[in-house]
């Protein structure tokens, strides 16, 4: 793993300490920070990006990329086993060591040279160290080799410091040395028994990954349903899939305390009610907190440690002067990489427009306003089966008082799905807004449904009238014929009143 010690790199700022002035300063070189900087440099603004760990951020080294690298080999194996004729050719087991090695290659051995080269090619100047706001348009950087660099921004500062794991302060938690998603995505060996606390996306994906790699996984969740932010059937079908693969999913299980008296021995979780669960490792997948405790928020009148509120141009609320922006996880609008990068494109365009004295509301393509963060956020859970959704669930729509029609269809009844995998099981739901005549939300659960999601995202974000979707004819025989079946069912429901 890289020590992120600030070894000299081509794009790195040569000022060891002292001061420097830029048009734009970005704090945090995760996917969102990189994209803000890319946009502002493209607009001709001299931009510095400050990074305290690895250029590329959590997404590249401890989240999206390694988790999907762990999940892809079991998914490929399951896909082959689901097709007669191919199944017979698959006689071996998953090679866990090879999977971990492949994961390591995707994270470049936790070295960021490749991403540093990209910064260099894009003309973005890297400053290694811990960045802190220091009043209006100023950022101080604690350099890894010692000393402080003071940076001043002529136009804007963008906070893109991301989020970190939130681990509850339970008795014994420090002694238990639990895994966070960082350890779960970077572990070098497969634990015999893994307890996972949390039934959200990260808990589910890590249960699928480590279960497939050979751990005996017990997933403990407080509620009764996995993936509580999705349609209920998503959690149910994913729980069935995990159970079929040997994962024990336990609802209504709240961890009260932990102990690991021997640092090299097992960890014991005591549940509320007194029952105990023993494991070799325990992962807390219990949510995120903003990385804002030590970034100088108090110097601009904001609360350290809080999520940072922004308007739809990603400008920080409550700070005067149009100079401070916050993009990505830290603003808590939508904590996925693709949505953070979308915000980054908006923020970059807004910063460039304001620097040029142009209005920010008249841009073509509406590219100065982040409108899709709440209405049309696509999300994929890479479990087996996969779950993919965009827009609102039926429950959310009804809670918001919207008049909706809920249309369900079994994916296994689509001919393309039957060809795709023997005994294909899955379900789709579309939620139609009856007053506006377009889709408010779509959910798919089944093998490889992630590939169906973007069509749904276009329909929801584009507010395409449902009657118009009738003329978007899916190819035969593909799984996307689900669209035809959903629309037919919708029409039949409408005819039946």
Ligand X SMILES: Cc1cc2nc3c(=O)[nH]c(=O)nc-3n(C[C@H](O)[C@H](O)[C@H](O)COP(=O)(O)OP(=O)(O)OC[C@H]3O[C@@H](n4cnc5c(N)ncnc54)[C@H](O)[C@@H]3O)c2cc1C
Please, which residue, 35 or 268, has the CB nearer to ligand X? 35
The contact pattern for ligand X, residues 386-425, with x = CB under 6 A and - = no contact, is ----------------------------------------
Backbone dihedral angles phi then psi of residue 198, each to the nearest 5 degrees: 120, 130
Per CB under 6 A, contacts with ligand X among 270-309 are: 291, 295
Cis peptide before 477 (omega within 30 of 0): yes
As a three-state string, the secondary structure of 249-306 is EECCCCEEEEECCCCCCCEEEEECCCCEEEECEEEECCCEEECCCCCCHHHHCCCCCC
Please, which residue, 33 or 447, has the CB nearer to ligand X? 33
Piece of the chain touching ligand X by CB under 6 A; list 31-39, 82-90, 218-226, 469-477: 31-39
The number of residues in the chain equals 497
- Number of amino acids touching ligand X (CB under 6 A): 35
Please, which residue, 198 or 474, has the CB nearer to ligand X? 198
**How far is residue 429 from each of residues 181, 232, 299, 382, 403, measured CA to CA in Å?**
30, 11, 48, 18, 16
> For helices 64-81 and 96-106, what crossing angle results, to 10°?
140
Selected from 11, 23, 25, 51, the binder of ligand X by CB under 6 A is 51
Selected from 36, 63, 277, 417, the binder of ligand X by CB under 6 A is 63
* Rg, Å, the chain Cα set: 24
Please, which residue, 35 or 443, has the CB nearer to ligand X? 35
Give the DSSP letter of residue 309. Answer: P
Instruction: Determine the 3-state secondary structure of 460 from DSSP.
Output: helix
Piece of the chain touching ligand X by CB under 6 A; list 6-14, 76-84, 212-220, 327-335: 327-335
Please, which residue, 155 or 291, has the CB nearer to ligand X? 291
Per CB under 6 A, contacts with ligand X among 189-218 are: 202
Minimum CB separation from ligand X for residue 150, in Å? 14
Piece of the chain touching ligand X by CB under 6 A; list 61-69, 107-115, 147-155, 215-223: 61-69
Return the C-alpha torsion angle 32, 118, 184, 287, nearest 10: -10
Return the C-alpha torsion angle 469, 475, 477, 482, nearest 10: -20
**Residues in contact with ligand X by the rule CB under 6 A:** 27-33, 50-53, 57-59, 63-64, 67-68, 130-131, 160-162, 181, 185, 202, 291, 295, 328-329, 335-338, 340
């Amino acid at each position: 793993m890289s020590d992120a010690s600030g070894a000299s790199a081509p794009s790195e700022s040569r000022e060891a300490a002292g001061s420097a002035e830029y048009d734009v300063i970005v704090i945090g070189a995760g996917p969102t920070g990189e994209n803000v900087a890319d946009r502002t440099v493209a607009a001709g603004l001299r931009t510095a990006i400050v990074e305290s760990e690895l250029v590329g951020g959590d997404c590249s080294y401890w989240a999206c990329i390694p988790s999907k690298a762990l999940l892809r080999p079991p998914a490929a194996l399951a896909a082959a086993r689901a097709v007669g004729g191919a199944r017979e050719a698959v006689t071996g087991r998953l090679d866990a060591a090879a999977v971990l090695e492949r994961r390591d290659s995707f994270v470049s051995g936790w070295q960021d040279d490749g991403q540093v080269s990209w910064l260099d090619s894009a003309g973005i100047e890297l400053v290694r160290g811990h960045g802190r706001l220091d009043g209006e348009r100023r950022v101080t950087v604690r350099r890894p080799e010692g000393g402080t660099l003071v940076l001043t921004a002529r136009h804007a500062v963008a906070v893109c410091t991301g989020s970190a794991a939130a681990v509850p302060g339970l008795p014994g938690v420090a002694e238990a040395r639990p895994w966070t998603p960082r350890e779960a995505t970077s572990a070098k060996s497969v634990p015999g028994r893994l307890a996972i606390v949390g039934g959200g996306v990260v808990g589910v994906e890590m249960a699928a990954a480590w279960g497939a790699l050979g751990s005996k996984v017990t997933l403990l969740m407080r509620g009764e349903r996995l993936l509580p932010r999705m349609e209920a059937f998503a959690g149910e079908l994913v729980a069935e899939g995990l159970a079929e693969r040997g994962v024990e999913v336990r609802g209504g299980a709240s961890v009260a305390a932990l102990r690991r008296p021997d640092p090299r021995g097992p960890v014991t979780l005591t549940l509320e009610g007194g029952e105990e669960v023993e494991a070799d490792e325990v992962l807390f997948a219990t949510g995120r907190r903003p990385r804002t405790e030590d970034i100088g928020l108090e110097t601009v009148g904001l609360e350290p440690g809080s999520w940072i509120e922004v308007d739809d141009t990603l400008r920080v609320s409550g700070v005067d002067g149009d100079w401070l922006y916050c993009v990505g996880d830290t603003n808590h609008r939508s904590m996925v990489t693709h949505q953070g990068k979308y915000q980054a494109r908006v923020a970059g365009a807004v910063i460039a427009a304001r620097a040029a004295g142009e209005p920010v509301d008249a841009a073509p393509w509406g590219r100065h306003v982040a409108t899709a963060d709440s209405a049309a956020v696509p999300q994929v859970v890479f479990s087996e089966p996969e779950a993919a959704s965009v827009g609102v669930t039926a429950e959310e729509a009804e809670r918001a008082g919207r008049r909706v029609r809920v249309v369900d269809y079994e994916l296994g009844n689509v001919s393309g799905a039957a060809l795709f995998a023997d005994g294909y099981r899955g379900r789709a739901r579309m939620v139609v807004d009856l007053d506006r005549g377009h889709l408010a939300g779509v959910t798919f659960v089944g093998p490889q449904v992630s590939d169906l999601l973007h069509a749904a995202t276009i329909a929801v974000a584009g507010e395409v009238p449902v009657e118009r979707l009738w003329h978007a004819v899916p190819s035969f025989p593909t799984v996307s014929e689900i669209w035809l079946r959903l629309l037919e069912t919708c029409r039949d429901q409408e005819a039946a009143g």
